[in-house]
Chain A
Amino acid sequence: MKLDLILRVATKVLVPFILLFALYVQFHGDYGPGGGFQAGVIAAAMVILYAITYGLEPAKRAVPPVIVETMIPLGVLIYTGVGVVTMLLGDNFLSYNALNRHDHVHAQELGILLVEIGVFVTVAGTMTAVFYVFAGRGR
């Protein structure tokens, strides 16, 4: 684990940019290709890259498994939560127009944003958690 100095430095340089790219894909999904699903996978790839070069334990310290495993149901909860909120506001399940009665374009954008965040949270959590269990079994 001493020979991979270049890998370690390169990983340290790359990790913030990968996260930035994931967030870009997440929030620019309205205008370009991308969305919660792809962004979640990229964010998980960042954690996996960190774990591969630095080992599983440092990665688990940086991104604790408890948080990752909480993210899995949390994303679905955000998604359905949006649906329940639109129901409470007197519209159908997941019809975002209820979120802003005055401007339905804003309502739609808000709804899509929230829902994509839900997808992101679930996907990133699931991928990272699955990697953690697989990588943790070997030892």
Chain B
Amino acid sequence: MKIPVTLNDTKIVLEAEPGDKLLNVLRRQNLLSVKCGCSKGHCGACTVLLDGKPVPSCIVPVALSRDSKITTLEYFSKSEEYQDILSGFKKAGITMCGFCNAGKVFSAWHILSTSMKPDRKMICEEVQHLSLCCTNTDILINGILYAFDFKVQRMGAQKNAKN
């Protein structure tokens, strides 16, 4: 089956069986930031952005992504938002182990992009389902709060530069 998608800002046609997991199809495209963790959609290791929303690609049949915009960490890591998140994580002492990075980063991005001023409780509710192998929830919350600070600073600086 041919499935047209916009993968990391490039229009391509994926060749796959309709029931194939999006995770496996993306890994076949050599997008290795998408990792196979629990295979049940719990752990976050396989998270990608599907039309701007973080989804566990291990439970998404590839046919559902037809005509969608898929973003993986490989592409997202070139963005300014990623740099904010990375700086926040670094300040909090979060290890980027390479296995659960997608879950951590896309969860943080989702919170930063949907909340005007995230607080600990709200972040905790958003991230406590994640089963991260290297980071505890407390430190992840700190990292996201620091990332928010970096985002605000960057946007402020950009606004000032325009003025």
User: Are these two chains actual partners, yes or no?
Assistant: no
Interface residues of A (CB under 8 A from B): none
> Hey, which bits of chain B sit against chain A, CB under 8 A?
none
